[in-house]
Amino acid sequence: MSAIDELPPLRDVIRTHGLSALKSLGQNFLLDLNLTSRVARTAGALEEMTVFEVGPGPGGLTRALLALGAKRVVAVERDSRCIAALNEVAAHYPGRLEIIEGDALATDFAPLAAGGRACIVANLPYNIGTPLLVGWLSAEPWPPFYESLTLMFQREVAERIVATPGTDHYGRLAVLTGWRAVARIAFDVAPSAFVPPPKVTSSVVHIVPRPVPLACDRRTLERVTEAAFGQRRKMLRQSLKSLGIDALALLEAAGIEPTERAEQVPVEGFVALANALVTLRAGQAPRQSVSPASS
């Protein structure tokens, strides 16, 4: 029995079900239920929420979410060895835990929320953390199906998510995040908290979507940040040439100095660049010839 429920301690669960950690699946388990409860509390009130969890593993965070009152947890786990252990958690919380054996990268969470309130909470496998986040931040339509993301990343990735202009970590991920959401690092977690311990410190990041981000086409914004940060030490008048457009005209239209570098430009500046790019391209597009209506 553990401190938060009547289920066996996680070490016993791991031993009983033979869940030796696999590096290929990014398995670094949290066995301290006080810590998993802290992660779950960071997500806020859960009573009315469907909580999506990626990679429940032996179920430490899953149990914390359920013990804290989550209305429903939908957990997607790729490792079939974990399913029997998770079924025991589901039996302890009848009707509140759905387990999906599959790849989170290939899972469309939005329909599973069925229009109800939802959030995402996960101790993410490191190898797929950034693609999952980019996918959730790229959701259409916006605002998305989730009210918040509470996610464990390597500290270095967490710093790239919350970075502000003028700092070394500021780049494409910070612009996408800052455009669509407000993000903060809630707390750090030492390597010793995990089994097996990873090489680096981790951080829990809390992300809340902006209801109305600045108007902008997401793909164009991505194209602009890719060009700008692709040569981040160069001035924008140089780096934006890769867009195949008059970079000086683009910068002038966006109201940005040609001598600025990508890392100095705030999110609003990139939005202005994306919108100016759409306008300039529309001006360059060959006029459609109007053919007479066929009789």
Residues that bind ligand SAM (CB under 6 A): 25-30, 54-57, 60-61, 76-79, 82, 103-105, 123, 125, 128
Place of tokens 């979507």: 209
Q: What would the two tokens of residue 171 be?
A: 């780049």
C-beta closer to ligand SAM: residue 29 or 109: 29
Q: 187-208 burial by CB neighbour count: b if 16+ within 10 A, else e?
A: eebeeebbbeebeeebbbbbbb
For the bound state, the minimum distance from the C-beta of residue 54 to ligand SAM, rounded and expressed in Å, comes to 5
Q: Cis ω on the peptide bond leading into residue 143 (within 30° of 0)? A: yes
Place of tokens 């553990």: 2
Provide DSSP, 214-244.
Answer: PS--HHHHHHHHHHHHHTTTSBHHHHGGGGS
Read off φ and ψ for residue 153, nearest 5 degrees.
Answer: -130, 170
C-beta closer to ligand SAM: residue 74 or 128: 128
For the bound state, the minimum distance from the C-beta of residue 265 to ligand SAM, rounded and expressed in Å, comes to 34
For the bound state, the minimum distance from the C-beta of residue 62 to ligand SAM, rounded and expressed in Å, comes to 7
Provide DSSP, 82-135.
Answer: GHHHHHHHHHHSTTTEEEEES-GGG--HHHHHTTS-EEEEEE--GGGHHHHHHH
Q: What would the two tokens of residue 279 be?
A: 């306008």
For the bound state, the minimum distance from the C-beta of residue 5 to ligand SAM, rounded and expressed in Å, comes to 15
For the bound state, the minimum distance from the C-beta of residue 10 to ligand SAM, rounded and expressed in Å, comes to 8
C-beta closer to ligand SAM: residue 10 or 240: 10
Return all residues near 85 (Cβ < 8 A) that are at least 6 apart: 13, 16, 17, 19, 58, 59
C-beta closer to ligand SAM: residue 25 or 280: 25
For the bound state, the minimum distance from the C-beta of residue 180 to ligand SAM, rounded and expressed in Å, comes to 23
Percentages of the chain per state (helix, strand, coil), in multiples of 5: 45, 15, 40
C-beta closer to ligand SAM: residue 2 or 242: 2
CB-nearest residue to ligand SAM: 55
For the bound state, the minimum distance from the C-beta of residue 223 to ligand SAM, rounded and expressed in Å, comes to 27
Return all residues near 9 (Cβ < 8 A) that are at least 6 apart: 1, 2, 31
C-beta closer to ligand SAM: residue 80 or 294: 80
C-beta closer to ligand SAM: residue 48 or 103: 103
Q: Cis ω on the peptide bond leading into residue 196 (within 30° of 0)? A: yes
C-beta closer to ligand SAM: residue 202 or 239: 202
